[in-house]
Amino acid sequence: MDTGNFQDEKRQYKRVTLPGVSCSFKLLDPRTWSTYHDKTVNDVQDISIGGLRLCTKNELILKAPIGIDIKINSSQELIRTFGRVAWIRKKNPTSDDYNVGISFSWWKNDEEKKIVYDAIASQIS
């Protein structure tokens, strides 16, 4: 997967890798109500206050609404947020794995958003 030159990054928010962060998700798209992915725990590849990238075996629907539970570390409670599938890329032609970008659109509360913000800030400074 070609991610381009990091210095050419056009993202609004800085993305970081946070070791041990995982998430589970459930598509909220009516076309996929019968398909639940929330039992699958996926490692978060990188995260920002605006979204995250994960690797999954599930080929998701572009722009589908999605509910996400984020686990920052083993002692932290689950953080529930909602977003949309922003992009999907097959990891490589022979793999069944997909890199998926999720854009956050709603947080349950400001305290949970601050937990994510603080975790990201600790990696930047």
Any idea which residue has 């032609």 for tokens?
Answer: 93
**Whole domain around residue 81: which residue ranges?**
19-124
Please report, for the domain that includes residue 59, its CATH number: 2.40.10.220
- Write out the chain's pLDDT in tens, 125 residues: 333 343 445 556 777 888 888 888 888 766 665 555 555 677 898 999 999 999 888 878 899 888 888 998 878 888 989 999 999 999 888 888 899 999 999 998 899 999 999 988 888 76
Examine residue 78 and state whether it is found in any structural domain, yes or no.
yes
pLDDT at 32: 60
* Total tally of structural domains belonging to the chain: 1
The DSSP-derived string for 41-100 is -EEEEEEETTEEEEEESS-PPTT-EEEEEEESSTTSPPEEEEEEEEEEEESSTT-S-EEE
Q: How many CB atoms lie within 10 A of CB 53?
A: 19
Q: Which residues contact 2 (CB under 8 A, 6 or more apart)?
A: none
SS3 27: strand
Structural domain contains residue 98 = yes
In a domain, 8, yes or no: no
